[in-house]
């Protein structure tokens, strides 16, 4: 080294405070920022426990993200103490940090004293290339990418929301993705469930999703659960995961997932979609409200149609899923401000986002101090999907099975088959001889079927929910002999007429 260089270093070191490794050791984990200013390849031999790595050449541009408070104590170190002294001089002189010290002798002296070192996660050359854009983000960097690679995320559903979420989390490098779904791929899924392909129609969704994930990122470990979540298995399934991404589409499972997450202390990244609208938030009962704080009581059965009944814009799940994937990455890496206590609603028709504040319910039965729920309950009964004996008998009197209806048709019994689906649905499949009046138009078009007030009317839709509501309308307006086709046209196709196309 030239005399001028040596003199420069001497002057720089004289203007900063140096501290012995023995004095640094008790500072670890006590609110002091420990920063390693060596180059990335030097870190393979280890670093001080809890230290943040910022190469000296990037210090000016990245230190603020790590130490935003310029009054916080900062300890810098390198291999021998020279670069850290120069870096300390820069922080104090040029960036206005008030309490910066350089560790004498660097990590070399630290190791000579026999102090512990933390061997960092080792990225393969392929990983360094694959995740290079994350490395360039100081908020993520190598430490954030390491957290993603070591993370375990459970996706509940491989459908509209689960599909794009799985792809983005796999691309981001989440090391383990669990997928829970008991369904198989159907042609009608492909309009929005982008993880599946025409070639995987009929294949289990968990298998189809695994194939797509490995094609995108072979390093991701996919754990498949081809089962339906219920109170008997959910605790065992979710307990090994860092966070849960909720993409389910029915209320009993949403309450089940919420309660299990609260009981196990898991973060629940929530999303839901319907027609042209979606919503998302992060439920973390340790820091904010849970799902029950938002929806204390479920809606009445059939009050809120499913996407299968009401439809959904194909691109909508992608928008909500990207919010869920973003929130998952933020929670896993510890960056940004998660959507805890904030509820985002998205209107695709008007391209509008609206944010609502959520507060913890002081009387919430599962997450409040005075909670009344300490274990999982019967969620179908809670959501009104299970009837008592008298209710069951009453419902059976109002419904006809597809087998009994087939026999009724074969026997020539006079009746009106009232299909209350939308006209476009008839273009997909229909039962011969029906009269079509969409449910929303039924009250104003009852005159068209007035001749059947005292004759047998069979109400039918896709799955039996809309037609049951139609039944209520008919009875209210004096129709005396009305029955609902149990399971709708889907059940008819499965059990009676295989030519009927499921959708």
Q: Indicate which residues carry an active-site annotation.
A: 307, 461
Cα three-residue angle 406-411-414, rounded to 5 degrees? 95
Contact 449, 410 (CB under 8 A): no
Distances (CA, A) of 452 to 121, 474, 477: 74, 10, 12
* Cα–Cα separations (whole angstroms), residue 301 to 60, 271, 292, 305, 389: 59, 20, 17, 9, 17
* Distance separating alpha carbons of residues 189 and 197, to the nearest angstrom: 9
Q: Could you give the CA distance from residue 262 to residue 235 in angstroms, rounded to a whole number?
A: 11
CB-count burial class (<10 Å; 0-12, 13-18, 19+) for 343: middle
Distance of CA 184 to the CA centre of its chain: 20
Token couple for 301: 């059965």
Sign of CA dihedral 318, 321, 327, 332: negative
Rounded Cα distance, 274 and 493, in Å: 25
How far apart are the C-alpha atoms of 223 and 16, rounded to whole Å? 53
What count of Cα atoms within 13 Å lies in the side-chain half-sphere of residue 362?
0
Strand order in the sheet with 176-180: 221-225, 176-180, 152-156, 243-246, 267-274, 277-283, 342-347, 352-357
Whether 385 and 425 have beta carbons less than 8 Å apart is answered as: no
């Amino acid at each position: 080294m030239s005399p001028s260089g040596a003199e420069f270093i001497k002057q720089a070191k004289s203007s900063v405070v140096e501290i012995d490794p023995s004095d640094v050791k008790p500072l670890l984990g006590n609110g002091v920022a420990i920063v390693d200013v060596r180059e990335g390849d030097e870190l393979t031999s280890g670093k001080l426990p809890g230290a943040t790595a910022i190469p000296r050449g990037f210090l000016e541009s990245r230190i603020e993200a790590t130490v935003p408070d310029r009054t916080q104590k900062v300890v810098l170190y390198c291999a021998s103490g020279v670069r850290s002294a120069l870096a300390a001089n820069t922080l104090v002189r040029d960036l206005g940090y008030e309490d910066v010290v350089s560790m004498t002798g660097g990590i070399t002296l630290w190791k000579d004293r026999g102090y512990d070192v933390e061997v960092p996660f080792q990225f393969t050359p392929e990983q360094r290339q694959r995740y290079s854009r994350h490395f360039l983000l100081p908020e993520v960097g190598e430490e954030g990418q390491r957290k993603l690679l070591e993370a375990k995320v459970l996706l509940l559903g491989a459908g509209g929301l689960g599909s794009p979420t799985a792809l983005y989390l796999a691309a981001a490098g989440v090391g383990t993705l669990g997928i829970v779904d008991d369904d198989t791929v159907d042609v009608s899924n492909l309009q929005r469930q982008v993880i599946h392909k025409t070639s995987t129609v009929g294949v289990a969704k968990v298998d189809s999703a695994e194939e797509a994930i490995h094609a995108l990122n072979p390093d991701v470990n996919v754990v498949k659960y081809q089962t339906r979540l219920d109170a008997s298995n959910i605790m065992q399934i979710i307990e090994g995961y860092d966070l849960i991404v909720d993409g389910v589409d029915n209320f009993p499972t949403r309450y089940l997932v919420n309660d299990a997450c609260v009981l196990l202390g898991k973060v629940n990244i929530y999303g839901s979609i319907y027609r042209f609208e979606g919503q998302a938030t992060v439920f973390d009962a340790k820091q904010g409200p849970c799902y029950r704080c938002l929806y204390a009581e479920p809606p009445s059965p059939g009050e809120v149609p499913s996407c299968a009944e009401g439809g959904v814009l194909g691109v909508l799940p992608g928008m909500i899923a990207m919010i869920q994937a973003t929130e998952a990455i933020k929670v896993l890496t510890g960056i940004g401000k998660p959507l805890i206590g904030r509820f985002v609603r998205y209107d695709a028709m008007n391209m509008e986002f609206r944010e609502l504040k959520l507060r913890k319910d002081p009387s919430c039965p599962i997450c409040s101090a005075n909670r009344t729920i300490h274990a999982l309950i019967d969620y179908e009964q809670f959501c009104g999907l299970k009837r008592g004996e008298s209710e069951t008998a009453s419902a059976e009197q109002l419904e006809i099975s597809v087998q009994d209806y087939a026999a009724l048709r074969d026997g020539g019994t006079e009746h009106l088959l009232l299909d209350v689906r939308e006209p476009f649905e008839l273009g997909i499949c229909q039962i011969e001889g029906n009269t079509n009046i969409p449910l929303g138009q039924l009250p104003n078009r009852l005159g068209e079927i007035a001749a059947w007030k005292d004759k047998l009317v069979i109400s039918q839709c896709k799955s039996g929910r809309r037609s049951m509501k139609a039944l209520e309308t008919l009875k209210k307006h004096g129709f005396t002999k009305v029955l609902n086709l149990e399971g709708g046209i889907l059940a008819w196709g499965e059990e009676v007429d295989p030519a009927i196309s499921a959708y």
